């Protein structure tokens, strides 16, 4: 492993062992990080920096190879840091790769599970589905995308699911519609799950939770999409839980989660906060892209 030397000593840098484009906006990388690979579990995340001047971003562990000591990450190119990361190639190094962080997804006592993933959130849902399959649970997976060209990880989900339903908003692949359509059909037909686990855009997770509520099926949501610095210090992933008695409690997705009871999440508040800095991130992304064009 390559090392970097600063006045504070010698520390490792992390090699990109493999890189694969899953579609035109989503990239998969395998990073050489044996200490992280030895302990990481589904649902947990890492914090990385691309270089010394880079910001810290959280990315979910999308898989590990403990023998090779590698950790798989999947990211969508939406901001300055992910654009910079995507310009790295196999054999190159990134500055920092810390983890595993967050609480692993609870699996105990769950024998029949429905995994509902949306878009790049499927990168988080996939290792969860794989873990339940490994434990012998009956796994139903529903994955949704805006269109066929954004489809990712279908083969991986097929291998770990007893039943897989693929949805596209425009009907260009699989079934036409959003992920709540087949979920409602299953529940209406009398299907019962020990748990529904949903990971994707906040609006999708909100409506999956609403679809399940009349049937009383427990719902776990991953609030990973709203995390920023991954330590709780920035406050960007602050969420409000509304308890059955109406009391409200503040939690942080990174240190208290990222998994939560979907019925307790104030989704509207979380979505409102998530829109506050979209303009800033877009500007940073455009400035980064311009730098690469000029180089």
Mean pLDDT for 25-40 is 95
Q: pTM for this structure?
A: 0.84
Q: Measure the CA–CA gap between 38 and 119, rounded to whole angstroms.
A: 28
Write out the two tokens for 192: 């019962």
SS3 content of the chain, % helix, strand, coil (to 5): 30, 35, 35
Binning pLDDT at 50, 70 and 90, where does residue 267 land?
confident
Q: State yes or no: pLDDT of 35 exceeds 90.
A: yes
Q: State yes or no: pLDDT of 126 exceeds 60.
A: yes
- For the segment 191-206, what is each residue's pLDDT rounded down to a tens digit? 999 999 999 999 999 9
Mean pLDDT for 22-36 is 95
Residue 264: the pLDDT is: 93
Binning pLDDT at 50, 70 and 90, where does residue 238 land?
confident
Crossing angle of helices 267-274 and 202-212, in 10° steps, is 170
Question: Which alpha helices (H) appear in 18-143, and where do they start and end?
Answer: 34-37, 80-86, 122-134
Residue with tokens 């210090």: 233
Q: State yes or no: pLDDT of 288 exceeds 60.
A: no
How do strand 57-65 and strand 70-76 relate by DSSP bridges? antiparallel
DSSP-derived secondary structure letter, 226: G
Residue 3: the pLDDT is: 55
Give percent above pLDDT 90 in the chain.
Answer: 66
DSSP-derived secondary structure letter, 41: -
Binning pLDDT at 50, 70 and 90, where does residue 287 land?
very low
Residue 10: the pLDDT is: 45
Residue 75: the pLDDT is: 92
Residue 53: the pLDDT is: 84
Q: Do residues 60 and 28 make contact, with C-beta atoms less than 8 angstroms apart?
A: no
Domains of the chain: 3-101 (2.40.30.10), 112-274 (3.40.50.80)
- For the segment 37-95, what is each residue's pLDDT rounded down to a tens digit? 999 999 999 999 999 888 888 899 999 999 999 999 999 998 888 999 999 999 999 99
Q: Do residues 239 and 265 make contact, with C-beta atoms less than 8 angstroms apart?
A: yes
Residue 257: the pLDDT is: 77
Name the more confident of 187 and 242: 187
Using alpha carbons, list the distances in angstroms from residue 89 to 17, 27, 68, 77, 105. Answer: 9, 11, 19, 15, 31
Q: State yes or no: pLDDT of 286 exceeds 60.
A: no
């Amino acid at each position: 492993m390559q090392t970097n030397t600063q006045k504070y000593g010698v520390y490792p840098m992390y090699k990109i062992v493999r890189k694969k484009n899953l579609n035109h906006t989503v990239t998969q990388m395998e990073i050489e990080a044996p200490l992280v690979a030895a302990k990481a579990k589904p649902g947990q995340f890492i914090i990385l920096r691309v270089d010394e001047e880079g910001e810290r971003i959280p990315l979910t562990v999308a898989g590990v190879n403990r023998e090779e000591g590698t950790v798989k990450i999947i990211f969508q190119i939406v901001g300055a840091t992910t654009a910079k990361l995507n310009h790295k190639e196999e054999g190159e190094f990134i500055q920092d790769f810390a983890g595993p962080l967050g609480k692993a997804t609870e699996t105990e006592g769950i024998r029949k599970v429905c995994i509902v993933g949306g878009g790049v959130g499927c990168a988080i849902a996939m290792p969860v589905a794989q873990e339940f399959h490994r434990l012998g649970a009956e796994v139903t997976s529903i994955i949704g995308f805006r269109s066929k060209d954004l489809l990712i990880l279908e083969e991986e989900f097929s291998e770990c699911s007893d039943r897989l339903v693929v949805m596209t908003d425009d009907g260009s692949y699989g079934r036409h519609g959003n992920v709540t359509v087949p979920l409602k059909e299953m529940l209406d037909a009398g299907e019962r799950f020990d748990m529904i686990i949903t990971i994707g855009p906040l609006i999708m997770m909100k409506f999956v939770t609403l679809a399940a509520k009349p049937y009383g099926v427990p719902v776990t949501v991953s609030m990973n999409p709203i995390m920023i610095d991954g330590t709780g210090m920035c406050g960007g992933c602050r969420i409000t839980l509304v308890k059955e008695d109406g009391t409200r409690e503040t939690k942080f997705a990174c240190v208290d989660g990222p998994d939560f009871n979907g019925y307790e999440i104030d989704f509207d508040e979380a979505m409102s906060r998530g829109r506050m800095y979209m303009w800033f991130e877009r500007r940073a992304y455009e400035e980064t892209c311009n730098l690469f064009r000029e180089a």
